[in-house]
Structures are given as C-alpha cells and as structure tokens.
Structure 1
C-alpha cells in the first residue's frame, strides 16, 4: 500500500488523551485563540491579528492538503489545542520533517510528546518511513525537550534564516531513524 493510502487510513486516530484528526473549519475559533497570541507561536509563524487572517492560515496551511496534518483535539473538552504535521515528506528518501505546536494553556502536560510518539510509531510501522527529523530554534527549550522525550537525537546545531523574520538564528536538528529505539 502506498504512503498516501496509509496516511488516508490514519487521518484520524486517538492517543490516551488526544484525538488526532484532520482540521475542519469548525476549528477556526480555537485556531484563532492560538494564532492570535504571539506567545503560543513565538517559534512557528507570526501571530494573526484578525480572525480573517487566522482563517486564511487555517485553510491554506492546515486544511487545503490534509494528509499528513493532524489537529490535536483534547479528549476531555473536545477543544482543538494544537497541531502536528509532516512539514517535509520525501517519499524517495523515505524521510519526513515533523513540526508541531500547542496552545500555551496545555504546555507542560506531555500532550505534544504523546502525539509525537504516536506519530513516530505510525511513521515507521505504517508509513514505511526510515528517518524523521525535527528542527527547532535553539532557544525553544520546550520543543527540544519534546523531541528528546520522544527519542530523537540531537545531530547538529546550525545557523539559518528564519522563514518569517529572515533574521539569522540558531537551530537544533534532531533525528530518529527506524531501529534507533523502540517506539511503542
């Protein structure tokens, strides 16, 4: 079975505390709550000042091409609280870069780590990927901890241009290869 069919099969799944599912326009108010607060997205993308800007971002970056993109919905309150996605998927090399963000009210609870560990398992067991990467801003210690808790290894530090501010920043690159550890 090809990866796109597999991604379709696993477009919705659940973890212990989360529903991982495609984004829907019904998420737009929860998304705006995240996107309008710069603290939530300091290392992701510029905060969105208006609901219209947030709706545009939601549709064009999270809904338009849904496979490999999951909304994180909290099971207790059914609120969309974040996202995890394959930012770069290279089918030839069987690699993917993973990106994620979470509403600040849910930080420190292990929810992103939970989502990431489940996605790692699927990536290696169902999507036939061989290498996963996460790139974080060096000063984003919380995101680095998520990668490390999910078993990713720091492979290098480098300087690069931030895609939004175009300022040179320090980055950390984490990798996890199939067989590096058990991901169950």
Structure 2
C-alpha cells in the first residue's frame, strides 16, 4: 500500500477525547466561527470576512483534496473545533509537514498535543513516513509548546517570506524523526 491508500484507510480516527474525520460542507458555520476570529488563525491564514468566504476556503483548501486533511471534533460536544493536515507530503523522502489550528475556547486543554502525538504515531507506524516537521512563527509559543510536548525537537530557526503578507518573518522548524519518537 502507498501513503494515499493508508491515508484513505485512516480518514477517520480517534484519540482519547477527540475524533478526526474529513471536513463536510455542513461544517461551514463552525469553520466560519473559527476563521472569523483573528486570534484563532493569526499564524495560519487571513481572517474570513463572511460565511461565503469561509465556505470558499473550506471547499477549496480543506475538502477539495481530502486525504491527509482532518476536521478535529470534540467527542463530548460533537463540535468541529479545529483542523490538522499534512501541508506537504514527499512520497520519495517519506516526510511531511503538519499544520493545524484550534478554536480559541479549546486552547490550553492539551487537545492539539493529543492529536499531533496520535498523527505522529500513525505517520510512522501506518503511513510509512520517516520524518515530520512543524514550522512555527517565532512568536507562536503555543504551537512550539505543542510540537515539543508531542515529541518534536527544535531543528533550526530561519527567515522566510510569509505566504500571505510576503513580509520576511522568523520561523522555527521542529522535527520528529522515526526512531527518535517514543513508539
């Protein structure tokens, strides 16, 4: 099996408190609630000005190519509270970059660490990946904490162009390499 077959097999999976699934168009309102709050996405993409803009983003960036893209849902409330996705997958090198976000009222509860840890385990044990990376803005301390708590190590600091503003920014790259992870 290749990685795409495995990602299809794991299009739904659970952690202790959450379940992950593909996005549905019915997530539009919950997605807009997240995307309309600049605090939720300050390091991800620009704030969404309308439900229609959020629907466009949801359909084109989260639903169009669903493998390796998950809606994060709270098992208790059944609400979609965030997303995690492979930003880049290199099938030859067997590596991927992970990107994620959560709704602000669910921050500081360990949800994202739980999801990143589970996705890392699946990546190494099921998807055949050998290296995962998380890139954070230098000022995004919460995401850095998630990376470290999920078993990633700081690899480097670098300058790069922000994909939306095109301004030069400082970034940190965290890595988790198979064999270094507590499997």
TM-score by length of 1: 0.98
Structure 2: distance between partners of 1:73 and 1:149: 21
Superposed counterparts of 1:57-68, under 5 Å: 57-68=57-68
Structure 2 CA distance for aligned equivalents of residues 32 and 64 of structure 1? 17
Deviation beyond 2 Å, 4+ runs, structure 1? none
Cα RMSD after superposing both structures: 0.6
1:165 and 2:152 correspond: no
- Is the aligned partner of 1:17 residue 2:40? no
Q: How far apart are 1:2 and its partner, in Å? A: 1.2
The SS at the match of 1:39 is helix
- Measured in 2, the distance between the counterparts of 1:182 and 1:66 equals 28
CA distance in 2: counterparts of 1:180 and 1:39, whole angstroms: 33
Matched residue, 2:130: 130
* Equivalent-residue separation in structure 1 for 2:39 and 2:131 (angstroms): 30
Equivalent residue number for residue 156 of structure 1: 156
- State the distance in 2 between where 1:158 and 1:83 align: 25
Matches of residues 27-176 of structure 1 in structure 2 within 5 Å? 27-176=27-176
Whole-angstrom CA distance in 2 between matches of 1:107 and 1:114: 12
Separation in structure 1 between the aligned mates of residue 72 and residue 147 of structure 2, nearest angstrom: 17
Q: List gaps (5 residues or longer) in structure 2.
A: none
For residue 181 of structure 1, report the CA deviation from its aligned partner.
2.5
C-alpha distance in structure 1 between counterparts of 2:39 and 2:2, whole Å: 38
| 5+ long unaligned stretches in structure 1 | none
Q: Deviations over 1:132-153 (max 9, x none)?
A: 0000000000000000000101
In 1, the alpha carbon distance for the partners of 2:147 and 2:112 equals: 9
Residues in 1 aligned to 2:105 and 2:67: alpha-carbon distance in whole angstroms: 27
Shift of 1:179: 0.3
Equivalence for 2:3: 3
d(CA) in 2 for partners of 1:151, 1:15: 16
